[in-house]
Amino acid sequence: MRFKTLITVLALFTVAALTLPSFLAAQNTVTGAISGTVTDASSAVLPNLTVTLKSVEKGFTQETKTNAQGFFQFSLLEPGTYSVTVTASGFKTLTDTTTVSVGQNSIVNAKLEVGSAGTTVEVSGEAALLQTETSEISTTFNAREISEVPNPGNDLSFIAQTAPGSVMNTGSGYGNFSSFGMSASSNLFTLNGMYDNDPFLNLNNSGATNLLLGQNEIAEATVVTNGYSGQYGGFIGANVNYITKSGSNNFHGNANYWWNGRVMNANDYFHKDFVDPANDLPRGFDNANQYAASFGGPIWKNKAFFFWNY
């Protein structure tokens, strides 16, 4: 009997081990990648060259080599700004700066010019708006865009309503928005890759009782509106992933205060008397106060950092 019980327990653990990764697949997309091909002026590929990656904010570096096809890749990179430097004997050193977003592969194709290795060519540009490496419809908002989007209440779920295919849920039922006609309760919310949906109603933790108001601590928000590949498993609606800010080699911080009152709002349509404006009902009372502050910086340059947010 004990032997049979042991076999049953082992079988359950085996099933759990096979099932758990597919369940957690929706929570593991917290990084991006940089890849590209190194060629010379004639577009011939250059194998076995050293490619160095450096984080602009945190200073850490990585190195790799181009393969026989001149291809290189840096994987599992946290969102941020990076410089990619390619060095080769007989060629000018090339440095390209690019931005890494969650779930995206930034392409850096380096074309080296003949010249002294002591000469550096610097290239910088914005990330491509069209991602040719994936068929997903993904919209990424950086910290500045999140802070400048008019957002009454500072509810984090509000940013997803500005993504393509998303509309505010004005009907009955739960959820703040629907994506491409899917149910508003079919959206998946994650914070740093961790599941952040309400366990009972299957909706975002936001509103008067389930607050999701940490807008000031968000460095990036990515909305994937057709996330059917493996890493976005779980729900058929939008996948909304928030990445929090962190410390860097530079001290940085902010302080914000938001206020909304009756004088800031127009009167409700049903409170107006279009025949005699003197009979308009007064605007409803409103007095909302919200504030936030953050501060971060280095503990040990290029090694350890701190970040505080309130």
What's the pLDDT tens digit per position in 226-282? Answer: 766 766 666 778 888 889 999 999 999 999 898 888 888 887 777 777 777 777 788
Per-residue confidence band for 20, with pLDDT thresholds at 50, 70 and 90: very low
Minimum mean pLDDT range among 2-6, 40-44, 63-67: 2-6
Sequence-distant (6+) residues with CB within 8 A of 199 are none
In degrees rounded to 5, what are phi and psi of residue 64?
A: -150, 175
Q: What is the DSSP string of 159-211?
A: GGGGSTTEEE--SSSS-SEEETT--TT--EEEETTEE-B-TTT-SBS-SSSS-
Summarised one tens digit per residue, pLDDT across range 187-203 is 888 888 888 777 777 66
> Using one digit for the tens of pLDDT, what is the confidence trace for 130-189?
566 666 788 889 888 888 888 767 778 888 888 888 988 877 677 788 888 888 888 888
Does residue 40 carry a pLDDT above 90?
yes
Beta partners for residue 93, in sequence order: 120
The DSSP output letter for 281 is P
Superfamily of domain 32-124: Immunoglobulins (2.60.40.10)
Mean pLDDT for 95-101 is 92
Question: Does residue 163 contact residue 223 with C-beta atoms inside 8 Å?
Answer: yes
Whole-number Cα distances in Å, 57 to 12, 80, 187, 284 = 45, 7, 32, 47
For residues 265 and 218, the model is more confident at 218
Backbone angles phi, psi at 130, to 5 degrees: -105, 120
- pTM across the whole model: 0.74
User: Looking at residue 50, what is its pLDDT?
Assistant: 94
- What CATH number was assigned to the domain covering residues 138-244? 2.170.130.10
- Average pLDDT, stretch 298-307? 94
pLDDT of 159 reads: 85
Radius of gyration, CA atoms only, the chain: 25
Domain ranges of the chain: 32-124, 138-244, 252-309
The whole-angstrom distance between residue 247's C-alpha and the CA centroid of its chain comes to 17
Q: CA-CA distance, 223 to 242, in Å (whole number)?
A: 9
